[in-house]
Structure 1
C-alpha cells in the first residue's frame, strides 16, 4: 500500500473538515499546558541526581503523607462510588417533591470554592460543631483527623460519580429488567447480572475521577485535616510547605512521585474499565 493509501485508510471520512488544524491545535494544547509543564518538573527533579530524589521522597514525613493521601483518596472514592450510585438511582428512578432541587444540589461541590467547603465542613465536624458535638460523646472525632480528610474528599468527589452514572442509568432499557423478572430472576439477580454490567464502566469512570480529585485536593482538606505531620498531613500540603521554604528540588521530587503514582493508578483503572466494557459487549 502506498503512503497516500495508508493515510487515506487511517483518516476516516468525517463530517467535520480540518483534520490537520484540529490535530495540530490539540497537540499544541497538550504540549503547552500538560506535557511541557510536567516534563519540566520531572527534569527539575532528576537534574539534581537520582540519589537526591530518593533521599527526598523516602523521608518518613513524606511517606506518611503519601500513606494518608492514598488511603483517604481510595476510601473517599469507594464511598463516592457507593453513595453516588444510590443517589443517581434515586434521581433517575423515583420522582419525589424537590427532585430538581436535589439534582441541582449535586453540582454544588463543583461550583463551591474549595476553601469555603473546607471551612463549612470544619465548622460542622469540629468538636463544638453541630455534628461534631453529637459524635464527641461517642468518642468519635472527625475534624483534625484523617477521618476529616475522608469526609472532605467524599464531599468533593461525589458529583463525579453521580454525573457519570446518571446518563447511563437514564438510557438503560427497562425491558431488560422486565425480561429478567419474567424469566424468574430475583431483584438482586437482576441488579447484579443485568444492571450492574451496564453501569460498571461508568461507575469505574466516576471512581477514577473521584480518586484523581482526591489525590490532588488541597483547599477543602487543609482546614479540616489539622495538618499534623505523620498523622493528617497530605501530599499537596507538603509540596506547598517545601515551596514556601524555597526547597524547589524537594517539591519537584515529591510532585514527580505523586505524578507517577497517580498515572499508574489511573492507568490501571482505565484498563479495568476497558476490560469491563469488553465483558459487557460479549
Structure 2
C-alpha cells in the first residue's frame, strides 16, 4: 500500500511572517489593548452607581456636548476649507504655492500650547482680531466659536494631507471627456471630481473630528473654561484628576472613547457604502 504523499509546504512570501505577526500582536496588545482595558475597568472600582451619577451630572453632560458639538462643526468646516485649499494647491497653483503647501503641516509640528497662546493672542478681547469684533458685540474668546476656530487650526492638515494625494492622482482625461460631452466646469467638479474624492474627504473628516474631540492644549487658552458654558471634556478630566477622582476621570474618558469610536465606525461604514450608493444613483 502506498502511503499518501504530503504536499510540500508553500514558503511564505514575507520572510519571518509568523514571528513578525506575533511581535506586532504583542506590541498592539501592550500599547493599545491593555490601556483600553484598564480604562474600561477603572470607572467601576467605586461601584456603578457612583460612576453613573458622575457621568449624568449636568456639568459632565455640558462638557461632552460642547466637545463633540464643536468637534463636529469644526470637522465639517475644515473638510470644506481643506477641499478648497487642495484645489488651489493642485489646479490653480498661485505664486508661492509651495510655501503654502509647507505651511499646511505647521500644526503637526507646533506644540499645542504654543498654538493655543497664539490663537488667544489673536482672538482675545484685547487681541488683533478679537478686539474689533468684541467692540461689535461678537466676542470669540470664551465662546464655542473660539473653540471651533482652534479645532479647525489643528484639524486642517489631516484633511489636506488626506485629500491632496487623491486629487493629484485623478487623471485629467476624466475632466476632458466630461467637458467634451458638454459639461460645464461646475458640473465637472460636482459630478466627476467630488464623487472621486468622497472617500478621502470622509477619511479627513473622521481624522479631524477624532483629533478635535480630544484636543486640549490649543483650546484651553481660548475657551474661557467656564463650567456649563465653555468647559471642554478633556479639561474636565484634568480637573477630576486634580481632585483625586480617578474613577470619575476614567469614566468621562471611557464615554468619550466610546462616542468617538462610534462616530469613526459610522464614517468607515459610510465610506464602504459609497461605491454602492454611486452605482444606485
Q: Shorter-normalised TM-score: what interval?
A: over 0.9
Which is further off, 227-236 or 176-185? 176-185
What is the aligned partner in structure 2 of residue 74 from structure 1? Answer: 72
Q: How far apart in 1 are the matches of 2:65 and 2:91?
A: 39
What is the aligned partner in structure 2 of residue 208 from structure 1? Answer: 206
Decide whether the 8 Å contact of 1:201 with 1:277 is kept in 2: no
Which of residues 33, 37, 40 is equivalent to 1:39? 37
Gaps spanning 5+ residues in structure 1: where?
A: none
Scaled by the length of structure 1, the TM-score of the pair is: 0.93
What is the aligned partner in structure 1 of residue 61 from structure 2? Answer: 63
Scaled by the length of structure 2, the TM-score of the pair is: 0.93
Which of residues 120, 126, 129 is equivalent to 1:128? 126
Which of residues 251, 257, 260 is equivalent to 2:258? 260
Following TM superposition, by how much is the alpha carbon of 1:128 offset from its aligned partner in structure 2, in angstroms?
Answer: 1.2
Q: How far apart in 2 are the matches of 1:184 and 1:51?
A: 66
Aligned residues: 274
Decide whether the 8 Å contact of 1:126 with 1:133 is kept in 2: yes
Decide whether the 8 Å contact of 2:82 with 2:160 is kept in 1: yes
Q: How far apart in 1 are the matches of 2:209 and 2:27?
A: 25
Instruction: Give runs of aligned pairs for residues 5-154 of structure 1, distance below 5 A.
Output: 14=13, 16-154=14-152
Q: How far apart in 1 are the matches of 2:203 and 2:275?
A: 11
Decide whether the 8 Å contact of 1:135 with 1:141 is kept in 2: yes
Decide whether the 8 Å contact of 2:68 with 2:213 is kept in 1: yes
Following TM superposition, by how much is the alpha carbon of 1:279 offset from its aligned partner in structure 2, in angstroms?
Answer: 4.4
What is the aligned partner in structure 2 of residue 167 from structure 1? Answer: 165
Q: How far apart in 2 are the matches of 1:96 and 1:33?
A: 44
CA RMSD of aligned residues (A): 1.9
Aligned to 1:97, the other structure's residue is in SS state coil
Post-superposition Cα deviations, 1:130-154, rounded to whole Å, max 9, x if no partner, equal 1112212321110111111101000
Post-superposition Cα deviations, 1:26-66, rounded to whole Å, max 9, x if no partner, equal 21121111110110111111233322221110000000000
Structure 1 runs (4+) greater than 6 angstroms displaced: none
Aligned to 2:244, the other structure's residue is in SS state coil
Aligned to 1:144, the other structure's residue is in SS state coil
Which is further off, 50-59 or 207-216? 50-59
Change (3 A) 1:253 1:69: same
Change (3 A) 1:96 1:272: same
Aligned to 2:113, the other structure's residue is in SS state helix
Q: How far apart in 1 are the matches of 2:104 and 2:90?
A: 13
Following TM superposition, by how much is the alpha carbon of 1:278 offset from its aligned partner in structure 2, in angstroms?
Answer: 4.6
Change (3 A) 1:41 1:123: same
Q: How far apart in 2 are the matches of 1:277 and 1:227?
A: 43
Decide whether the 8 Å contact of 2:151 with 2:215 is kept in 1: yes
Following TM superposition, by how much is the alpha carbon of 1:280 offset from its aligned partner in structure 2, in angstroms?
Answer: 5.4
Gaps spanning 5+ residues in structure 2: where?
A: 1-5
Q: How far apart in 1 are the matches of 2:254 and 2:99?
A: 41
What is the aligned partner in structure 2 of residue 178 from structure 1? Answer: 176
